[in-house]
Amino acid sequence: MTNVEINTQHVKVLNNGLEIDAYLAQPASTGTYGAVIVIQEIFGVNSHIRDVAERIAKQGYVAIAPAMFQRAKPGFDVGYSQQDMQLGFQYMQQTKAPEIMSDIQATIAYLKTLPNVKAEAIGAIGFCFGGHVAYLAATLPDIKAAASFYGGGIATSGLGADTPTINRTSEIKGTIYAFFGTQDSFIPQEQNQQIEAELKKHHINHRVFRYDADHGFFCDQRTSYNSEAAADAWQHVLELFQNTLK
């Protein structure tokens, strides 16, 4: 199924007392669909992330992009300048893994209230900071598939937790695909090799893809965009969701 007609809207996801802004894209026709949580880069739920949500919805999924910086900076939505990057890093450093996981869990709960969502078919995709969060989200029982694009710090940081996220690899429940650029100065090659070794060690259902590309290669708004790598990676994402969420 490709390029189905979609509807988009801004919604609120409730997490106890916190209202999380989220962008929802879904097929216009009635039916039940698998759902995908789209997890932002450090630049907020910006036009690139909204575009990814729409592309996924056009493939016949309900896609939702929750604001991961809701606590630190509600409504954060910037581009890719140096200044934007500095701001994004600042807000990223204020995030904490337990809060992030709680927000993802609240987003899952929200999806399950939608009449057109198959509750047993929920996945996640994330980029950069969101790639790290997607790896973390893959440890949740509800996440059947996760696509982690150039997730920074998986091997070295726990996003405020005591132990790096890589140490939670054994908890991954479903299938995970990880995408890296071999020219990515943010993620040394030995780190993505370490991640792959850990996935193998714990017999996690996974695939790792490496491209001769830089950090952010999937984003057509960044100077590091690599159309060939992005197109190939997109086909693998579609294959992942087709196999796990349909």
148-173: b (≥16 Cβ within 10 Å) or e: bbbbbbbbeebbebeebbbebbeebb
- Residue ranges of E strands in 28-132: 33-39, 62-66, 117-127
Q: Indicate the residue type of 223.
A: T
CA pair distance 185, 163, nearest whole angstrom? 23
Q: Is 215 assigned a catalytic role?
A: yes
Q: In whole angstroms, give the CA distance from residue 38 to residue 139.
A: 16
Q: Out of 128, 132, 206, 219, which one is annotated catalytic?
A: 128
**Which residue of the set 184, 206, 214, 219 is catalytic?**
184
Which position among 103, 132, 215, 219 bears the catalytic label?
Answer: 215
84 is catalytic: no
Q: 141 φ, ψ to 5°? A: -55, -30
Residue 128: active-site member? yes
- Provide the annotated active-site residues: 128, 184, 215
